[in-house]
Structure 1
Amino acid sequence: MVKVAVLRAAGGIGQPLALLIKTNPFVSELSLYDVVNTPGVAADLSHINTKSKVTGWVKDAQLDQALQGADIVVIPAGVPRKPGMTRDDLFNINAGIVKTLATGIAKNCPKAFVAIISNPVNSTVPIAAETLKAHGVYDPKRLFGVTLLDVVRAATFVSEIKGTDPEKTNVAVIGGHSGPTIVPILSGTGLSFTQEQREALVKRIQYGGDEVVKAKDGTGSATLSMAYAGYRFVNALIAAGFQGKKGVVECAYVDSDWAKEHGVDFFAAPVELGPEGVAKYLPLPALDDYEKELFKAAITDLKGNIAKGESRITGKVH
């Protein structure tokens, strides 16, 4: 059985994410942490007739208790985007939050799988990595940036155009998790698109979050769809890491030698999951000429995003 900790569980992503995780029969304990309101969220979820025990923890003083013995830690912590705000605008606030939470992980559950949702993912994952390194517990195979929302959106948007079943439509999305770093591999779907369709799809996938922020008219960002994507990734970690299932593959933003060969420390790509986290770094899908140009642009932006996160902890300017 598995203990899952959700950090910022009372927030817009945290509550629906915790609700979905509560439904997984392999979760024995669901530990919820936030700066306010977590006991109420825990009490509410505890009335659901599934096996997992739910606990709620609040404020910095209880972070250690929330994390002790966790097998999987999911971090949607941070402030949400508001109209006109980019993911990079969130950096200064969310960077400090992720550093604090990663320090708690290093002290209380250094072997946990860590799935980071906090924006900007391109920079917050390097912050977590450098924090874990500073405590001597960094394992690149156990740290993930959750970019599955881009995959979920891509499947949805493609199915709307092509009339396919969205649950059976597979679109690999590589790179990162903001704007031009998001590279959908439409050429690998087996479907045909006009160049106009491709360009429109790429733009919509890259900036789908803006669509939600605008529609919510200042009241929030993509919380429900992100919670679903986070839940799907947690389910994949449980299936491969604790149920022994083979061939579990999802896209995630990870530290890999392959990324370093292309001049970056982190890159979102398909990975096969297993008991130790990443079991295998899969080769990238074949790219056509249009996607190769998107790839080059993604690498350029990622270099700056990653350096920004790393320098927040190391103090080194790249």
Structure 2
Amino acid sequence: MGARKKVTVIGAGNVGATTAQRLAERDFYDVVMVDIIEGLPQGKALDLRESGPVEGYDSLVIGTNSYEETANSDVVVITSGIARKPGMSRDDLINTNAGIVRQVTESVAKYSPNCIIIVVSNPLDAMTQLAWKASGFPKNRVMGMAGVLDSARFKHFIAEALDVSVEDVNAFVLGGHGDTMVPLPRYSTVAGIPITELLPEEKVKAICERTANGGAEVVALLKTGSAYYAPASSAAAMVDSILLDKKRIMPTATLLEGEYGISGLFVGVPCKLGINGIEQIIEITLTAEEDAALKKSAAAVNELVEVIRLKVTDIGL
């Protein structure tokens, strides 16, 4: 591989392969896709390379079943694990995915000890906490992708309700990735105007509820899997902010150590993402109601972390 930044995507399923596609099409990363299924990452990587002449990109895309090819990656995106099926909560995935994420993270850390890890596997916040422990990396180099996706869903629903361009919508979501997430309407704007000024309260409430259930809505429609286009776009946007050192403020699952009155847990809050990973946690003032909702969300994350402590005893969590 040349002087391009190197991004590894673990998992060549729908989310992983689409993330690899989004990154390859940007034309400034080389991409390695890893999966345990023989031939799957190799086939998808070849297909993506053969798209290059049509799309006009020269990105090198490699598919592999081992971690040697991932050595010295700048960023690693972990998408491995089983996807949700209808009627399954994200939390039902925990026992299976904890084992997978632990094993993957240890392999990643061995071959790319200086990389930044972005976790996409569900249940997101708990899996990110597990990856941080398993990697031994400092907290600025391990983060979870959830808030970018949740706020994208929120933005879409706001734009749809007001019949405006998504480009003028900014949306703000805090908390764990799941039913307890905390969309913040008073910090969500259209061309700088808070949506609370533009939409009636009951409409705002309905949009917030639909955002919190956004993943389940897609799962129920697909019946055989979960969302992957928007999650892949969200992961790629985080990679861009880090490797292009854009320093974007993005809602990111990060380890809180007293911020927002929460300690020792990975929870989604606004973070500045740059070449060093999480460069700053942005702390905003919450109303009593918002604060209570965030604490409730953190408590839900904590319950899952407790489950992992029971199940994944061999990494000393």
TM-score, with normalisation over the residues of structure 2? 0.88
Instruction: Return closer, same or farther for 1:142/1:312 CA change in 2, 3 Å cut-off.
Output: farther
Match of 2:19 among 5, 17, 20: 17
1:204 match: 210
Instruction: Return closer, same or farther for 1:23/1:117 CA change in 2, 3 Å cut-off.
Output: same
Which residue identity lines up with residue 301 of structure 1 in the other structure? A
1:51 match: 58
Q: Counterparts of 2:93 and 2:218 in 1: how far apart (Å)?
A: 17
Q: Counterparts of 2:260 and 2:122 in 1: how far apart (Å)?
A: 22
1:31 match: 32
Of the structure 1 ranges 301-310 and 77-86, higher mean CA displacement relative to structure 2 is found in 301-310
Of the structure 1 ranges 257-266 and 43-52, higher mean CA displacement relative to structure 2 is found in 257-266
Q: Counterparts of 1:142 and 1:194 in 2: how far apart (Å)?
A: 41
Q: Counterparts of 2:315 and 2:44 in 1: how far apart (Å)?
A: 40
Determine if contact 2:98/2:127 at 8 Å carries over to the other structure.
yes
Which residue identity lines up with residue 97 of structure 1 in the other structure? I
Determine if contact 1:114/1:143 at 8 Å carries over to the other structure.
yes
Determine if contact 1:259/1:265 at 8 Å carries over to the other structure.
no
Which residue identity lines up with residue 25 of structure 1 in the other structure? D
Determine if contact 1:140/1:256 at 8 Å carries over to the other structure.
no
Which residue identity lines up with residue 191 of structure 1 in the other structure? I
Mapped pair 1:230 → 2:235 = yes
Note the alpha carbon deviations across 1:195-226, whole angstroms, 9 max, x for none.
3223212211111111111111x221111221
Note the alpha carbon deviations across 1:65-122, whole angstroms, 9 max, x for none.
1321111100111111101000011111111110111010121112111010000012
C-alpha RMSD of the superposition: 2.0
- Alpha-carbon deviation of 1:303? 1.9
Of the structure 1 ranges 160-169 and 104-113, higher mean CA displacement relative to structure 2 is found in 160-169
Mapped pair 1:195 → 2:201 = yes
Determine if contact 1:127/1:312 at 8 Å carries over to the other structure.
no
Unmatched runs of 5 consecutive residues or more in structure 1: none
Instruction: Return closer, same or farther for 1:111/1:310 CA change in 2, 3 Å cut-off.
Output: farther
Alignment size in residue pairs: 300
2:82 match: 79
- Alpha-carbon deviation of 1:263? 3.9
2:291 match: 292
Note the alpha carbon deviations across 1:261-307, whole angstroms, 9 max, x for none.
424421211111222111111113x4345423322321221221233
Of the structure 1 ranges 110-119 and 43-52, higher mean CA displacement relative to structure 2 is found in 43-52
Which residue identity lines up with residue 206 of structure 1 in the other structure? A
Determine if contact 1:187/1:287 at 8 Å carries over to the other structure.
no
Q: Counterparts of 1:32 and 1:274 in 2: how far apart (Å)?
A: 23
**Percent identity for Structure 1 against Structure 2:** 27
Which residue identity lines up with residue 223 of structure 1 in the other structure? Y
Q: Counterparts of 1:236 and 1:255 in 2: how far apart (Å)?
A: 19
Note the alpha carbon deviations across 1:11-63, whole angstroms, 9 max, x for none.
01112111111012321x211111221110111111214122111102xxx1x
2:307 match: 308
Which residue identity lines up with residue 239 of structure 2 in the other structure? V
1:70 match: 73
Determine if contact 1:39/1:55 at 8 Å carries over to the other structure.
yes
Unmatched runs of 5 consecutive residues or more in structure 2: 189-193
TM-score, with normalisation over the residues of structure 1? 0.88
Determine if contact 1:263/1:303 at 8 Å carries over to the other structure.
no
